Amino acid sequence: MTGSLSLVGVRAGYGSVEVLHGVDLSFPAGTVVALVGHNGSGCSTILRCTAGVVRPRSGRIVWDGADITGWTGYRRTTAGMVFVADEHNVFNTLTVAENLELFGRPQPLDTSVDAACSVFPELRDLLDHRAGTLSGGERQMLALARALARPARLLLLDDVSRGLSAAVATRFFAALRERSTAATTTVIAEQFIDTALGIADIVYAIRRGRVAFAGEPGELSEQSLATVLS
């Protein structure tokens, strides 16, 4: 399927510690996929491998029929991949407006600002502020604005709700679901599991670097998910 993403037998980790133990995952084109699991389960590492931040020790990453395992992060970005990491996800020395302009290229700045502020109106009064002076929640809003400012074929979002109030997180997820199209595949790693399941088409539960469950959100109840992840 055009635009689909697959991880095949991917092993990855940090230093001497292996985090992913041969995971096989499939993300059909045009879907919203939730990765859920406890801290340290491997959800973030899956996204980092896909984005090219962490190189797999073995296995393959296939996107739109092409093996991208050896691609640089820059090549993935120019091909239409957008990654919002869980930290260090804005340019601290640039203003909010400059970040939005950079993220939104080649769109005009006004278009990027309007797209961001339609979901995060809190940013409107901060456009001239340097990103490094913002609170944690404000920086997270700015980082997530990348998902709204730049059209993506593959959108990777790590720990979306970090630093956000429940109301702001709900607002973003509603906008994300509303703007979801067949041209964009979205993969979310999220600690607020109920919120993620509410917008996802497919869910993978990751436990200790392995896939513990794969299916539709409706197949998981709070009790069964707790059992899966225990």
Domains of the chain: 1-80+153-161+183-230 (3.40.50.300), 86-151 (no CATH)
pLDDT at site 2:
54
pLDDT band at residue 228, thresholds of 50, 70 and 90? confident
Which residues, in sequence order, are CB contacts of 23 under 8 Å at separation 6+? 7, 9, 10, 42, 46, 59, 206, 209, 210, 211
213 pLDDT above the threshold of 70: yes
- The answer to whether residue 191 scores a pLDDT higher than 80 is no
Q: Note the pLDDT of residue 3.
A: 66
- In this predicted model, which residue has the larger pLDDT, 62 or 109? 62
- For the chain, give the percent of residues with pLDDT over 90: 59
pLDDT tops 80 at residue 96: yes
Helix (H) or strand (E) holding 18: strand 17-27
Residue 114: predicted pLDDT: 85
Omega within 30 of 0 (cis) for the link into 151 = no
**Strand ranges across the sheet with 32-36:** 81-84, 154-158, 185-189, 32-36, 202-207, 210-215
Tokens standing for residue 68: 């991208």
Angle 19-25-29 from CA coordinates, rounded to 5°: 135
**pLDDT, mean of residues 88-93:** 91
Q: Cα(56)–Cα(209) distance, rounded to whole angstroms?
A: 13
**Mean pLDDT across 19-48:** 94
Lowest mean pLDDT among 6-10, 191-195, 217-221: 191-195
Residue 77 reports pLDDT greater than 80: yes
The dihedral sign for the CA sequence 166, 169, 52, 228 = positive
* pLDDT number for residue 127: 94
What's the mean pLDDT in 68-84? 93
CA dist., res. 173 & res. 175, Å (int): 5
Q: Is the pTM of this model over 0.85?
A: yes
pLDDT in tens, 102-148: 887 777 788 888 888 889 999 999 999 999 999 999 999 999 987 78
pLDDT beyond 80 at 192: no
pLDDT band, very low/low/confident/very high, at 1 (cuts 50, 70, 90): very low
- What mean pLDDT is reported for the chain? 89
- Phi-psi sector, 40: left (phi>0), alpha (psi -120 to 50), beta: left
Radius of gyration of the chain (CA): 17
Contacts of 99 (CB under 8 A, 6+ apart): 90, 91, 131, 142, 145
